[in-house]
Structure 1
Amino acid sequence: MFVKNEVLEQMKSRRSVRRYKSDMVPEELIEAVVTAGTEAASGMNRQTPVVIAVTNKEIRDRLSAVNAEIAGRGNSDPFYGAPVVLAVVARKEGTYIYDGSLTMGNMLLAAHSLGLGACWIHRAQQTFERPEWIKWLKSLGLEGEYEGIGFCILGYSDGEEPKALPRNEGRVIRVK
């Protein structure tokens, strides 16, 4: 039996969106999603993840192009037309990969709860290992060793959101 409350219902109904309208998301909704990310738990409260909110179309398109190149997808848009890209990078210390993953998860759930589509896009690690993008991080004031964790793309879904697939059996083992 699944206990019902608003947060748990949002967790059950969230799905990755892979088709977006070009309409820009209002700044207050972007800020709400980013804040949810920065409220994520982190090991020893180090708070190593940083969220870079990209709404500049030129930068967004450059990130998309490098992501497509890394993936070997030619001229496709791995960001599926989403107008907002929230890049999560984390300072390389402690549990930074896990902390950055929690940041991503919080943002995905927050976006869904606000009526936005969102999807985790990989290849942030490879993107932010490239000299051009290391230089870009430094231009934003991020000195030191950072690793890309993921891209949370955001926007308004263009069509119906995907339906949930059945959950795999055997994913919970109870020890009493």
Structure 2
Amino acid sequence: MNPVMENILTRRSIRSYEERQIPAESLDQILLAGTYAPSGRSLQTWKFTAVQNPQVLARINAALREALRTVAAGPGTHPYVVRLKAKAEREDSEFLFHAPTYVIVSNDRENVNALADSAVAMENMMLAAHSLGIGSCWLNHLPGLTRHPVIRGLMAELDIPDHHDIFATLALGWPKNSSPAAGPRKDVIHIIR
């Protein structure tokens, strides 16, 4: 099988990581892969903020807990948000899966292609990580809270531009367990010839 196709077909979301850090060279390659993703009009307005410092990772997790605890939940609140809010009430809540590396993908909120550009950069980084034997998982906690004052403060601490919003985040690390088998694929392909 073509190695690119094999990499695509065998990549899985990993939610349990070893404590050891990934090599600096591997992180550099993963981030480089993100920069080579296509972007609308080749504007490349994204920024990839990689965090490996344990104290900063703990601060991110604490900011997520704090922000989620203040989210107003009502009858129309999505069940996922309700579960996250309940999880945030626990003192031991961990939203980053104890990943030793965490990448925040932010982008200029005025760029109409910011979400799509960030998404293809994320896929490039996840595929690059998998090709190096490193596990990854796309996390959407921060993007949903990107306008929350606590998260805006965190972004300022992390030197993320004020005109940016967070569009995606990525947990990275050595998988603690073997990758699960792929689930069955849905019948979504329709070809008109």
| TM-score normalised to structure 1 length | 0.90
2:97: which partner in 1?
A: 80
Give the total of aligned pairs. 172
Match of 1:40 among 12, 34, 37: 37
Q: 1:18 to 1:142 in 2, by over 3 A?
A: closer
SS where residue 94 of structure 1 aligns? coil
Percent identity between matched residues is: 29
1:102: which partner in 2?
A: 120
Kindly indicate whether the alpha-carbon contact (under 8 Å) linking 2:50 and 2:102 is maintained by their aligned counterparts in 1. Answer: yes
1:117: which partner in 2?
A: 135
SS where residue 59 of structure 2 aligns? helix
Kindly indicate whether the alpha-carbon contact (under 8 Å) linking 2:63 and 2:150 is maintained by their aligned counterparts in 1. Answer: no
Kindly indicate whether the alpha-carbon contact (under 8 Å) linking 1:42 and 1:99 is maintained by their aligned counterparts in 2. Answer: yes
Measured after TM superposition, the shift of residue 147 of structure 1 is: 1.3
2:47: which partner in 1?
A: 50
Does residue 65 of structure 1 match 2:62?
yes
Measured after TM superposition, the shift of residue 149 of structure 1 is: 1.2
C-alpha distance in structure 2 between counterparts of 1:37 and 1:15, whole Å: 18
Does residue 19 of structure 1 match 2:19?
no
Measured after TM superposition, the shift of residue 161 of structure 1 is: 1.2
Measured after TM superposition, the shift of residue 59 of structure 1 is: 1.3
C-alpha distance in structure 2 between counterparts of 1:144 and 1:116, whole Å: 31
Render the CA deviation track for 1:143-169: whole Å, top value 9, x for unaligned: 342111111100011111111111111
Match of 2:189 among 132, 154, 172: 172
SS where residue 97 of structure 1 aligns? helix
C-alpha distance in structure 2 between counterparts of 1:128 and 1:14, whole Å: 28
Q: Structure 2: which 5+ runs fail to align?
A: 69-83
1:28: which partner in 2?
A: 25
Q: Structure 1: which 5+ runs fail to align?
A: none
Measured after TM superposition, the shift of residue 140 of structure 1 is: 4.9
Q: Which moved more, 1:137-146 or 1:98-107?
A: 137-146
The aligned amino acid for 2:126 is L
Q: 1:159 to 1:142 in 2, by over 3 A?
A: closer
Kindly indicate whether the alpha-carbon contact (under 8 Å) linking 1:19 and 1:159 is maintained by their aligned counterparts in 2. Answer: yes
Q: 1:68 to 1:168 in 2, by over 3 A?
A: farther
C-alpha distance in structure 2 between counterparts of 1:54 and 1:110, whole Å: 18
C-alpha distance in structure 2 between counterparts of 1:109 and 1:8, whole Å: 10
CA RMSD of aligned residues (A): 1.7
Measured after TM superposition, the shift of residue 16 of structure 1 is: 0.4
